[in-house]
């Protein structure tokens, strides 16, 4: 068989049913082989980065390994951001790249780059295949590495002569991964120690991260938290791991998270971190994070132990096994179960102080939070949502309550603008039965706007609700709150002194409905509050790709907000507490 045909057969053997792939000179043999494949659908993105995010959307929606492919040189380089993004969020992905002929490697051949070396910091492993006979073994190993332990991306770089070589493949070749650790499992003694800490606590909180979602451990977490009536606060990656509307639960916490979640973690005397990494957007200034809490950190990745926050007990374990075992060990406890009702009542008071939806200032026109809340109400919360990156990304979980795993899909560790649309395409391919909506901003949406063509050509009816405020909103917010309102290239409108918006529809630029029509998308623009929900209904009912542009107030701020270098004690919960009030566009005189 030809090497490229072997690659296709190996992917079929791994159960791959879709590959997001852009062709080029050093990958043409692979595409030629895919053209003859019967079991794998190849989706052509309009940019390699888009293909990488599509593979991520597929993986995030299913838990399976997403597969993307590009040619050498610039094609491979365009995958780098998507690979790094998957690495930051622990997403299982295999990226295949074509490479120049083996004898040209290192000689600055046309479209040659060292993608093997360049990806080393942002992959679990990189393979450069120099012997075609190794392909079956390497592809098996790549999928094992991508899924095992803490998931992540793997690169396979395949020179053109390896793709073209004729040989007899050994599809029964065994993986050889002597350095791959076995699944870590907590000892009963370690887990009994965790239970002892719970029985001794007065104010415990479970801090649940994306590891719960990756391990498919949501059911176990829910049972364990209910068994002891322990409140659960999730990270953004962990959203949907438990029902946020359950009385004891805290939804998500961190820089823009709930007041109750941040306050509970701050006041806790026991913090149990499960499948999380103590990201800076969670902790704020580390020295003030959960200062009175005994911290227990259980994670599948030993490297995360004591990396960002010093903990009392680090437990190296796969989290689903640990939760299952904790439930079993709890049956043998003879001591009286702890009573945390007073703690839950205290949390309830904080929730009443700062209830959902989060702090809002009444506006004359549609605000972004109002638009997202309307989508939640019209859809009854029964859709899958991706986002771009920016203010809308934070407003989405603030105003759309996600109650199940893999329902909220966003670039969180890397925070990559342009993620929303291609990720939505990947999600829709994985879950064709679901309505998939990308909630995006005009800045982020333009980063990969070309993938509108992919949605049409591949008949993938994704929906985009684009909140158009004519600004790079999150940076604008920091300018207002920290940099005295000085604008440093954050205005996207035609006239920076008079941005387009509800008061100036004629000044809007670019004309997104015209662009959408050019791509053969159904489209609509709304700017009146009374038109919003009917437009959302039409979008959700459509059987075609659909862009709903919502013109929103341009000077809105995401609150709550824990400023950088601060702790939950310094949380700004509403406009009245904002330090930029005297210069604020919303509450005070116009800023500079």
Q: Which residues are identified as catalytic?
A: 48, 110-111, 160, 474
Contacts of the segment 572-579: beta carbons below 8 A, 24+ positions apart: 572/481, 573/259, 573/354, 573/359, 574/359, 575/359, 575/361, 578/481, 579/481
Nearest to 50 by CA among 512, 514, 522, 453: 453
d(CA 174, CA 156): 18
Backbone φ, ψ for residue 243 (5° rounding)? -75, 115
DSSP bridge partners of 20: 43, 68
d(CA 538, CA 435): 13
Contact 53, 448 (CB under 8 A): yes
In sequence order, which ranges of 380-493 are alpha helices (DSSP H)? 391-399, 420-430, 442-447, 451-457, 473-482
H helix or E strand, kind and range, residue 315: strand 313-316
Contact 97, 76 (CB under 8 A): yes
H helix or E strand, kind and range, residue 214: helix 210-214
d(CA 11, CA 44): 17
d(CA 512, CA 492): 13
Sign of the alpha-carbon torsion through 216, 220, 222, 224: negative
Nearest to 314 by CA among 278, 261, 262, 340: 278
């Amino acid at each position: 068989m030809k090497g490229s045909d072997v690659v296709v057969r190996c992917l079929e053997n791994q159960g791959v049913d879709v590959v997001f792939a852009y062709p080029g000179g050093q990958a043409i043999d692979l595409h030629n082989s895919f053209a003859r494949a019967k079991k794998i659908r190849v989706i052509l993105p309009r940019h390699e980065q888009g293909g990488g995010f599509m593979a991520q959307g597929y993986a995030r929606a299913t838990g399976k390994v997403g597969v993307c492919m590009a040619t050498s040189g610039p094609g491979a380089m365009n995958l780098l951001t998507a690979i790094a993004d998957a690495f930051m969020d622990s997403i299982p992905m295999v990226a295949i790249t074509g490479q120049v002929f083996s004898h040209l490697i290192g000689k600055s051949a046309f479209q040659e780059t060292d993608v093997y070396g360049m990806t080393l910091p942002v992959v679990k492993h990189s393979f450069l295949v120099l012997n075609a006979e190794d392909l079956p073994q390497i592809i098996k190993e790549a999928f094992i590495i991508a899924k095992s332990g803490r998931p992540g991306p793997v690169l396979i770089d395949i020179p053109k002569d390896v793709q073209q070589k004729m040989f007899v493949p050994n599809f029964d070749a065994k993986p050889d991964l002597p350095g791959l650790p076995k699944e870590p499992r907590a000892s009963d003694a370690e887990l009994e120690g965790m239970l002892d800490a719970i029985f001794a606590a007065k104010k415990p909180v479970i801090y649940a991260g994306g590891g719960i979602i990756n391990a498919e451990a949501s059911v176990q977490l829910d049972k364990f938290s209910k068994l002891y009536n322990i409140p659960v606060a999730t990270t953004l990656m962990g959203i949907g791991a438990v029902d946020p509307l359950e009385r004891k639960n805290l939804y998500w916490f961190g820089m823009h998270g709930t007041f109750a979640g941040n306050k509970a973690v701050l006041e806790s005397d026991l913090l149990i971190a499960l499948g999380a990494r103590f990201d800076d957007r969670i902790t704020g200034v580390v020295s003030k994070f959960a200062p009175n809490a005994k911290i227990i950190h259980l994670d599948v990745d030993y490297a995360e132990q004591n990396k960002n926050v010093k903990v009392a007990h680090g437990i190296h374990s796969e989290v689903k096994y640990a939760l299952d075992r904790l439930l079993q060990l709890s049956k043998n406890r003879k001591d009286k179960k702890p009573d945390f009702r007073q703690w839950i009542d205290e949390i309830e008071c904080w929730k009443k102080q700062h209830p959902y939806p989060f702090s809002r200032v009444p506006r004359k026109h549609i605000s972004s939070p109002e638009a997202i809340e309307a989508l939640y109400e019209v859809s009854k919360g029964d859709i899958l949502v991706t986002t771009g990156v920016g203010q809308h990304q934070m407003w989405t979980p603030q105003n759309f309550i996600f109650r199940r795993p893999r329902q909220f899909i966003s670039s969180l560790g890397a925070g990559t603008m342009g993620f929303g649309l291609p990720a939505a395409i990947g999600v829709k391919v994985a879950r064709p039965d679901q309505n998939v909506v990308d909630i995006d901003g005009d800045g982020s949406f333009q980063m990969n706007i070309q993938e509108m063509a992919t949605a049409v050509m591949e008949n993938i009816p994704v929906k985009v609700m684009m909140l158009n405020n004519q600004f790079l909103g999150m940076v604008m917010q920091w300018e207002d709150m920290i940099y005295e309102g000085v604008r440093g290239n954050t205005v996207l409108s035609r006239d920076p002194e008079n941005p387009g918006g509800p008061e100036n529809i004629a000044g809007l630029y670019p004309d997104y409905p015209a662009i959408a029509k050019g791509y053969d998308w159904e489209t609509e623009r709304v700017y009146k509050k009374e038109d919003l929900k009917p437009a959302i209904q039409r979008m959700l009912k459509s059987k075609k790709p659909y862009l709903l542009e919502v013109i929103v107030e341009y000077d809105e701020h995401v609150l709550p907000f824990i400023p950088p270098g601060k702790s939950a004690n310094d949380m700004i919960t509403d406009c009245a507490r904002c330090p930029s009030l005297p210069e604020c566009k919303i509450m005070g005189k116009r800023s500079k």
